[in-house]
Structure 1
Amino acid sequence: MIRLSPTQPGAEQRVTASDLVRHFGVWQERATRAPIYILHRGRPRLVLTSLDVMDALCTPHFAAASGDTMRDTLLDVVETIMLVTDRDLVITGASRGARRYFGAAASAGQPIAGCAAPGDTTLPATVRRVLASGETETIECRSPRVAERRLACTVIATPEGCVVKIADTTATEESQRWRERHEALSAALAATRSAAVSLNLRGRIEEPTPALAALTGATLDALAAARLVSLIAVFDRTRVGDALEAVIEQGAAMSLSASLLVGGAEISPAAIGLAPLTAGGRITGVFAVIVPHDGGA
């Protein structure tokens, strides 16, 4: 049986039970994008996942379905880039993430070599070795989309052929650089008594920062998964809520003035900038910057 779950989920996919309870809203939102592994004594023990994946695993028709049907249905809800090949190095299945990344090259019946840059034989050669040895291997090859990008490919032998799990290592490095820039931006904003925060599509705060806690007088635990409008004076909440909806619906940035609640009671005038957060061409949330009108170094 093909194992579709990652053997070593990334840090963004792992959470302790205590953190899950404290920040359930944040992890619930992440679980809609990828399975979340709940740790017990440092090791994954339980999984929080989306209804799509559970339906694929548990619907009654699976009892009579063939192994290929079950596999294809599961692959259809997996965002990880994953390919399944037969012993002739021909693709027999591809995850949703693989089809999005490789396009027609990931279609059933296509050679696995088409998922690497022209002339780069590293991937098919590795699949042949794994088929012969049965030992899992991880290699790097050039992306067929942009030659400068690198793909890390983990090839795992199965009775029918191989499973190839792929990650864009260049994208991982870029993400790290952007994360560092984001941290620098957050520090610069904090120096001016301003704050930046990401919101999900429900307007709830994801990963609140110390700068936001200092600005609002609320604790990080209280801010986790709180709605942005709950930090706004009652008479301005409708306007801020409408602005959030407009940014999500129109996909355009906007700004407005509103009164911020400090310590749950004191009112402080502020400017709020809102911009859509996107992933894969779709809006996944909103990025907000809050600048108090009396802010300054």
Structure 2
Amino acid sequence: MQAVTASDLVRHFGAWRDRAMNTPVYIHHHGKPKLVLTSVDFIDALSAAKAPGGTNDAAMATLLEMIDASVVVTDQALMVNGTNALARQRIGRADWQGLPLADIVPEAVRPFLLRAADVTLASGQVERLHLRLGDHGERKVDVAIYPFQDGVCIIGRDQTAPQALALAQAHARIVDEMLGLIGTTAWVRMNPRGYVTDVSSAFEAMTGLPPEACRHVRLPTLFDPATHAFVDAALDRAIDSMANGITSARLLTSSVRAVPVRVAISGKLLRMSEDAVIATISLDAAALPTSS
């Protein structure tokens, strides 16, 4: 499930509108989902699937494929009568149609999921499970079971990657806070053309420049003209070879004096994300004046 706060939606409506064309975006207010932003095609498919007189099989198939999660639909006997592509990948078999739900559920979680499905059938209430799958429970999956027509609709969302990303981002924030306290090392994030997209709080403290003044300029612009070319060459090498490079330079600040620094630039993230170049900037202690 994609989720966004109402304020972030207003600030970046174009980006979230584009995402909503592929999968519904849940709009949160005070931490709770209140509205859904989605495409007309999705709503039309949903309306057709629920139209009086029975389910439109084509509309149902379209609806299932538009959901960015694993979806399994059953009848009141918990026999499978609908899936989407993500669910079929997880099931790993082509003959799922008409099988008992128990036959396609991993054995380790089968009792819990079947019991929850029975509760939903009997009560009409939504049941939610937080499951761990894989040989060592390495995959974390959130499951919601909804009453649907005379059976249930089971939606499973793999939370392994989002949770890993959230943890990595938390680690990055902590490291940034520590660097900010030290005040001698900062990081800068750039796009593949070398234009700054983000800077750390330590960079702001080091230069006295607000982040807004640094974004959307090419990294070498942040250095004095005498060392501009060194940074430019190191940046080009990092982007072209997706390797690491280091050079000395003088960093511009809000004061008159430029600060001597060491600049390390890595393009390795381009191999994985295709959208990020990272530079670390450290004060060059050997070049700084010492107190008498």
TM-score (norm: length of structure 1): 0.63
Q: Which residue of 2 aligns with 1:131?
A: 121
Question: How well do the aligned residues superpose, as a CA RMSD in angstroms?
Answer: 4.7
Q: Does 1:70 align with 2:57?
A: no
Choose which of 61, 83, 107 in structure 2 pairs with 1:93.
83
Q: For residue 156 of structure 1, give the secondary structure of its aligned residue in structure 2.
A: strand
Q: Does 1:143 align with 2:149?
A: no
Q: Which residue of 2 aligns with 1:118?
A: 107
Q: Provide closer, same or farther for how the CA distance between residues 199 and 99 of structure 1 changes in structure 2, counting only shifts above 3 A.
A: farther
Q: For residue 120 of structure 1, give the secondary structure of its aligned residue in structure 2.
A: helix
Q: For residue 123 of structure 1, give the secondary structure of its aligned residue in structure 2.
A: helix
User: What is the rounded CA distance, in whole Å, between the counterparts of 1:82 and 1:291 in structure 2?
Assistant: 44
Offset at residue 155 of structure 1 (A): 1.3
Offset at residue 295 of structure 1 (A): 5.6
Q: Provide closer, same or farther for how the CA distance between residues 172 and 70 of structure 1 changes in structure 2, counting only shifts above 3 A.
A: closer
Q: Deviations over 1:193-240 (max 9, x none)?
A: 2223444556565564322322343324445x6355375347447546
User: What is the rounded CA distance, in whole Å, between the counterparts of 1:283 and 1:56 in structure 2?
Assistant: 30
Q: For residue 16 of structure 1, give the secondary structure of its aligned residue in structure 2.
A: helix
Q: Which residue of 1 aligns with 2:170?
A: 180
Letter in 2 for 1:84: V
Choose which of 137, 140, 156 in structure 1 pairs with 2:146.
156
Q: Provide closer, same or farther for how the CA distance between residues 272 and 228 of structure 1 changes in structure 2, counting only shifts above 3 A.
A: farther
Q: Is the 8 A contact 1:130 1:136 kept in 2?
A: yes
Q: Is the 8 A contact 1:204 1:227 kept in 2?
A: yes
Q: Does 1:272 align with 2:264?
A: yes
Offset at residue 16 of structure 1 (A): 0.6
Q: Provide closer, same or farther for how the CA distance between residues 238 and 260 of structure 1 changes in structure 2, counting only shifts above 3 A.
A: same
User: What is the rounded CA distance, in whole Å, between the counterparts of 2:193 and 2:274 in structure 1?
Assistant: 10
Choose which of 218, 223, 231 in structure 1 pairs with 2:209.
218
User: What is the rounded CA distance, in whole Å, between the counterparts of 1:145 and 1:103 in structure 2?
Assistant: 16
Q: Does 1:104 align with 2:92?
A: yes
Letter in 1 for 2:265: G
Question: Identity over the aligned pairs, expressed in percent?
Answer: 17
Q: Deviations over 1:88-113 (max 9, x none)?
A: 342622365x567x362698537655
TM-score (norm: length of structure 2): 0.64
Letter in 2 for 1:242: D
Matches within 5 A, 1:20-35: 20-21=10-11, 24=12, 28=15
The more displaced of 106-115 and 182-191 is 106-115
Q: Provide closer, same or farther for how the CA distance between residues 28 and 261 of structure 1 changes in structure 2, counting only shifts above 3 A.
A: farther
Higher RCO (CA < 8 A, seq sep 6+):
1
Q: Which residue of 2 aligns with 1:194?
A: 185
**Which protein has the larger Cα radius of gyration, Structure 1 or Structure 2?**
2
Q: Provide closer, same or farther for how the CA distance between residues 29 and 187 of structure 1 changes in structure 2, counting only shifts above 3 A.
A: farther
The more displaced of 281-290 and 102-111 is 102-111
Letter in 1 for 2:62: M
Q: Is the 8 A contact 2:186 2:280 kept in 1?
A: yes
The more displaced of 130-139 and 82-91 is 82-91
Q: Provide closer, same or farther for how the CA distance between residues 253 and 41 of structure 1 changes in structure 2, counting only shifts above 3 A.
A: same
Offset at residue 138 of structure 1 (A): 0.8
Q: For residue 276 of structure 2, give the secondary structure of its aligned residue in structure 1.
A: strand
Q: Is the 8 A contact 1:16 1:39 kept in 2?
A: no
